């Protein structure tokens, strides 16, 4: 099932896509059909910069177990570092 | 007698005049044999104007229909790969309903002008395109 339901978030960082590194300013997280992963539906994450065109995209298609594990790992990795080390105001 | 077998088709990328007079990409599949043909607008799903969309169009042509599948993301990401185009369209908030109806109307007019068109038209889509098909069917005289 594909819908227009998506979580959109403003981000600040960079991603490496088809044409190399680019400054990324948005991400979309949604459940939809997978293009590549061998599942009917996956949790999909697009890290993008619309100003740079459609190819400025890092895409993930994850099972919900791996998506939740990734979210937890992000929290743990940040927790391992001194507070604020990777903040915008570092 | 037609020289073509009933399952012989021609399929190719075309341009149709969509909403607002915009020229948009589309995929046409049609039987080669002469005959009275109904027309189908095939609407692609949210993940894009992809290989499977074109396969659906070809299959329906083998079954005897004229089929046009408009690329609803033509304006958002012309020339981009289907998945990148879908991501760009999603980031932009998706396809506006009014634009969808206009693009389907343009596809119907293209079908109406094809040789053998019998004046009967339908619209098919699945997933997000199921909603689009319902919207188009309720909005257009098809």
> How would you list the strands of the sheet with B66-70, edge to edge?
B9-17, B23-31, B66-70, B37-43, B117-125
Domain count of the fold of chain B = 1
Domain membership of residue B1 (yes or no) is no
Q: Is residue B4 part of a domain?
A: no
pLDDT of residue B38: 98
At A7-57, the pLDDT tens digits run 999 999 999 998 899 999 999 999 999 999 999 999 999 999 999 999 999
Sheet of strand A57-62, all strands in order from the earlier edge strand to the far edge: A7-17, A20-33, A41-48, A57-62
Contacts of B94 in chain A (CB under 8 A): 4
CA of residue B133 relative to chain centroid, distance: 11
Instruction: Sort A54 into a burial class: Cβ within 10 Å, 0-12 / 13-18 / 19+.
Output: buried
**Residue B123 belongs to some domain of the structure:** yes
pLDDT tens digits along A43-70: 999 999 999 999 999 999 999 999 999 9
Predicted TM-score of the model (pTM): 0.88
* Interface ipTM above 0.90: no
Asked if the C-beta of B14 comes within 8 angstroms of chain A's C-beta atoms, the answer is no
Domain ranges of chain A: 7-63
| Residue A80 Cα distances to A66, A69, A74, A77, angstroms | 20, 16, 10, 5
pLDDT over 90, % of chain B: 89
Q: What is the CATH number of the domain that holds B100?
A: 3.40.50.1820
Would you say residue B80 lies in a domain?
A: yes
Could you give the CA distance from residue B55 to residue B138 in angstroms, rounded to a whole number?
26
B130 close to A (CB below 8 A): no
- Give the structural domain span for B73: 9-139
- Tell me the per-residue pLDDT of B23-35, one tens digit each, with 9 for 90 and over: 999 999 999 999 9
Tokens 């027309």 belong to B39
CA–CA separation, A19 and A34 (whole Å): 22
Are B94 and A4 an interchain contact pair (Cβ–Cβ within 8 Å)? yes
Query: Which of B62, B59, B63, B90 is closest to B76 using CA atoms?
Result: B90
In a domain, B67, yes or no: yes
Residue numbers in B near A45 (CB within 8 A): none
């Amino acid at each position: 099932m594909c819908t227009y339901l998506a979580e959109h978030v403003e981000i600040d960082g960079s991603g490496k896509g088809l044409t190399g590194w680019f400054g990324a300013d948005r991400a979309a997280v949604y459940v939809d059909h997978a293009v590549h992963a061998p599942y009917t539906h996956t949790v999909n994450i697009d890290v993008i910069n619309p100003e740079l065109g459609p190819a400025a995209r890092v895409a993930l298609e994850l099972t919900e177990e791996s998506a939740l594990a990734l979210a937890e790992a992000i929290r743990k990795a940040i927790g391992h570092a001194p507070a604020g080390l990777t903040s915008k105001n570092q | 007698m037609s020289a073509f077998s009933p399952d012989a088709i021609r399929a190719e990328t075309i341009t149709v005049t969509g909403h607002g007079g915009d020229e948009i990409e589309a995929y046409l599949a049609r039987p080669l044999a002469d005959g009275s043909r109904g027309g189908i607008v095939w609407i692609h799903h949210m993940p894009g104007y992809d290989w499977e969309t074109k396969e659906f169009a070809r299959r329906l042509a083998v079954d005897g229909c004229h089929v046009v599948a408009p690329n609803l993301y033509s304006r958002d990401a012309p020339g981009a790969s289907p998945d990148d185009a879908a991501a760009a369209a999603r980031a932009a908030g998706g396809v506006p309903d009014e634009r969808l109806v206009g693009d389907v109307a343009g596809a119907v007019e293209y079908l109406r002008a094809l040789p053998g068109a019998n004046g009967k038209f339908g619209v098919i889509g699945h997933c997000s395109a199921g909603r689009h098909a319902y919207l188009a069917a309720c909005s257009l005289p098809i």
